Structure 1
């Protein structure tokens, strides 16, 4: 019998309580074993989920726990690199929430730390584990819509609360770091292509980018995307080819924004493939465990994450 991966969580963030904690607890060959939190009240949610879970009063104590194999890091964005390095140094595999770094050269340091440790470190880019995105990539590769000519992406939500961490510049807030990762990474994953020329416009609000509009040229196709934090919720990705259109109508928040599906339109015919009830957070945890055991190559290595971050860095630079 395969021994389960024993997980610890650094911090008791809301996202960890509502999504990643339950995903770890429900995943095959995984055990939610400990949490490090300075807030006993927030830690109670994890204890209720996994009775017997150990609660450490600080992050260093969790990293020193010899009964932890892997650590999930949902800390504020500006702390991701620091605590990923600390976890690797402590001998733990690390799954860090996106964005794993604030700029691309920091990921070079993480790659070096990962390689020196012999451990697995990766960004929590969960959508690549979802079958709808694996199917979209396959359809594009097989030429289901002919030659790809153009891609449109939209991702927005309305968060005017200036006390929310996403609206704090000092902790790495802003639309690009929060959701631009998806707008860029999803297309890079599905097409295997990287942008050449790129232009951008950013609207700033209280020190964070609340809206970004990006236009880019990829080899063979053009790209247009916007992300926003002061708009009604919307998300979609559309791939337009010579012979058809492929649409992912719920690309990023499957089961929350709606049902995951891939729609292919050729002429007057539309074909929809649906993926009800699939939990990409759970799949992410299970794939992480398989990669630790050497059963698979992890679908989203740090090298891929570096490419997305490099595109984001270029967007900030292009917008001035």
Structure 2
């Protein structure tokens, strides 16, 4: 068996402490070896579950550590591109939180840097590693619902009471679409394998320079889609793929087993006046963060294709760019 990939985490973000660092620590083929933070208090939250963790007091010091092979970057959105480039230049494989950039053009630069380095770099788009999404895509591509007619996606939460949250701050690249629109938009693209022909509607509400409620529609080749994303609504999430012969519904598509049980429902018409049947598959054991780390580490060691590339991330970011452009067009008219 090959040696585990030695990982470092750039920054002591709460999400890293609660989710991704623990996933690296738990994943087969990965070794959570180092953390970069100048805060002893924040470091203690990581050494509590990994006592042997090496602590670097700066990001540059971690990147200079010759023992570290891969870096996970959970920094605020506006810092992603710069530190991803620095990590690649330091000879590290890089997994950077979503959105990996604030515009599609920036991802072009990352693709060039990745290609020049010969290293693996990707956005931490964990849902494609979850068994429920792999099953949903399999059902769709096997024709379980016939011709696709429409996709609906909703992902919301409420952080209005936390104005200092980076998602509520424009200077850190905040906003609901960069945070959760990536999921409703990207999941539609990943399951169907299609890019939108046009964004037909974008009704976006802003507060303090960040989007807090977005109602967006798009036309694809042969089907339409509508997504709602909000940081000012009751927490809810669901994705539905509606076809001529059936419906695929995911009830906890983005925070599986935290928001609720990971279920994939297949609704089919029985015919002959007997109504509809619903087949439900459950995926309680899957942890998409651990699966993501294991897949990334395996790709580093074996060279096997990684399922979410920078090109995939660019496609979603191009959609986000188009949504904001459509919203500006609508507000100007």
TM range (shorter): over 0.9
The answer for the alignment partner of 1:202 in structure 2 is: 204
SS in 2 for 1:113: helix
The answer for the alignment partner of 1:86 in structure 2 is: 86
Moved over 3 A (4+): none
The answer for the alignment partner of 1:184 in structure 2 is: 185
Deviations 1:29-75 (A, max 9, x none): 11000000121111111112112111010100000001100000000
SS in 1 for 2:48: helix
TM-score by length of 2: 0.95
SS in 1 for 2:242: strand
* 1:293 aligned onto 2:301: yes
Comparing 309-318 with 196-205, greater Cα deviation is found at: 196-205
CA displacement at 1:295 relative to structure 2: 4.7
The answer for the alignment partner of 1:165 in structure 2 is: 166
The answer for the alignment partner of 1:23 in structure 2 is: 23
* 1:8 aligned onto 2:8: yes
The answer for the alignment partner of 1:114 in structure 2 is: 114
How many residue pairs end up in the alignment?
320
Distance in 2 (CA, whole Å) between partners of 1:294 and 1:186 is 27
Structure-to-structure mapping, 1:136-147, within 5 angstroms: 136-147=136-147
The answer for the alignment partner of 1:263 in structure 2 is: 265
CA displacement at 1:264 relative to structure 2: 0.4
Distance in 2 (CA, whole Å) between partners of 1:311 and 1:21 is 30
Distance in 1 (CA, whole Å) between partners of 2:151 and 2:71 is 36
TM-score by length of 1: 0.99
SS in 2 for 1:68: coil
SS in 2 for 1:231: strand
SS in 2 for 1:293: helix
User: Unaligned stretches of 5+ in structure 1?
Assistant: none
Q: CA RMSD in A?
A: 0.7
User: Unaligned stretches of 5+ in structure 2?
Assistant: 270-275, 329-333
The answer for the alignment partner of 1:222 in structure 2 is: 224
Structure-to-structure mapping, 1:115-130, within 5 angstroms: 115-130=115-130
The answer for the alignment partner of 2:156 in structure 1 is: 156
